Amino acid sequence: MKDHYTHAFTELQIPHQRNCNSISFPSVLSPNPTNVPFSLSLLTKTIATQKQFLDSLLHRAGAVLFRGFDFKTAKDFNDFVEAFGYEELPYMGGAAPRTNVVGRVFTANESPLHQKIPFHHEMAQLPEFPSKLFFFGEIEPSSGGQTPLVLSHIVYERMKQRYPEFVEHLEQHGLIYTLVLGENDDLSSPIGRSWKSTFSTDDKSLAEERAAKLGTKLEWMKDGGVKTTIGPIPAIKYDKLRQRKIWFNSMVPAYIGWKGEQNDPVEVTFGDGKPLPADIIYDCLKIMEEECVVIPWQKGDVLLIDNLAVLHARRSSNPPRRILASLCK
């Protein structure tokens, strides 16, 4: 029986994958064809016995795509996520409007699908962020709607090589983000989460208390909204496990992509208040585009992302498309 589990997975090669130091990015696992039929309950047992292998694969590759398993519903996805045994991270302080579907599964960003979402690490502008993310392709888009991925240390290395002084200043001072949150959720914006949802309360003093824990200052506005100031917060982090520096910030999305009624765009500056040079930010976006992989979603896919190693984005699409998410501490 043990042998059965050991050979539970086959590593697939698929188009659009990249090779990074002879490791496929992302790594793609599918059921071993000799194990068919491969039931969900067998799979969840297998996860427990294969945890070491899966953790080490994620460590090496940065992202693992599970393709060809029999995930049909949000509940299947929830069971799969649970099987890994990672602790759930509540979405406190995050900017995207999200709805709980089942268990620890939420909708991913609910902003209109024609809007692109630029590359980001999940909740990089907050002191507490998820270490891992799971995404589930519940409804496959007919075209577009991919989740591009890019390795964060490569973005750092290329930026450092091209703009050494800029990166040095960034490492020294970090970034400050200023973002307005409305009183009610604005589903037309990828960062349209209201302060009430963001801090899970409609009590202003409780919101202030929770914001302070997230390193965020609040300034109440006459229209019921609130101006939040985050930082200075480090923009470059050190990935201790992989021993490399990573581009862990929301500079590009904040500067160019996080537009909504209240924020056009979000204000982001160096931690010492100095303005950021627009040309460098747009070039950073170009580098991310050059280095990324873009793999189309297939129904039932589950994508596991190491949030320290990899930045993700969203391509635009037409409806229908439904990707669900679960965040881990």
Report, in Å, the least distance between residue 120 CB and Fe ion. 6
Report, in Å, the least distance between residue 269 CB and Fe ion. 23
Mark 254-293 with x for binding to Fe ion (rule: CB under 5 A) and - for no binding.
Answer: ----------------------------------------
Report, in Å, the least distance between residue 193 CB and Fe ion. 13
Report, in Å, the least distance between residue 3 CB and Fe ion. 38
d(CA 166, CA 160): 8
Residues 191-210 that bind Fe ion (CB under 5 A): none
Closer by beta carbon to Fe ion, 8 or else 58: 58
Strand-pair partners of 100: 106
Closer by beta carbon to Fe ion, 122 or else 301: 122
Report, in Å, the least distance between residue 68 CB and Fe ion. 25
Report, in Å, the least distance between residue 164 CB and Fe ion. 29
Report, in Å, the least distance between residue 117 CB and Fe ion. 7
Residues 99-128 that bind Fe ion (CB under 5 A): 122
> DSSP assignment of 58-118, as one string?
HHHHSEEEE-SS---SHHHHHHHHHHHTPPB----S--S---EEETTEEE---S-TTS-EE
Q: At what angle do helices 40-49 and 74-84 cross, to 10 degrees?
A: 20
**Three-state SS for 237?**
strand
Strand-pair partners of 120: 312
Closer by beta carbon to Fe ion, 54 or else 123: 123
d(CA 119, CA 246): 14
Residues near Fe ion (CB under 5 A), total: 1
Report, in Å, the least distance between residue 190 CB and Fe ion. 9
d(CA 123, CA 103): 21
Closer by beta carbon to Fe ion, 31 or else 118: 118
Closer by beta carbon to Fe ion, 120 or else 173: 120
Closer by beta carbon to Fe ion, 122 or else 157: 122
In this chain, which residue has its C-beta nearest to Fe ion?
122
How far, in whole angstroms, is CA 132 from its chain's centroid?
A: 8
Closer by beta carbon to Fe ion, 86 or else 135: 135
d(CA 327, CA 86): 9
What token pair was written down for 251? 């500079």
Contact 136, 71 (CB under 8 A): yes
Closer by beta carbon to Fe ion, 122 or else 138: 122
Interior CA angle at 194 toward 192 and 196, to 5°? 160
Q: 197 exposed, middle or buried (CB, 10 Å; 0-12, 13-18, 19+)?
A: buried
Residues 122-161 that bind Fe ion (CB under 5 A): 122
Contacts of 167 (CB under 8 A, 6+ apart): 156, 159, 160, 236
Which residues of this protein are in contact with Fe ion, per CB under 5 A? 122
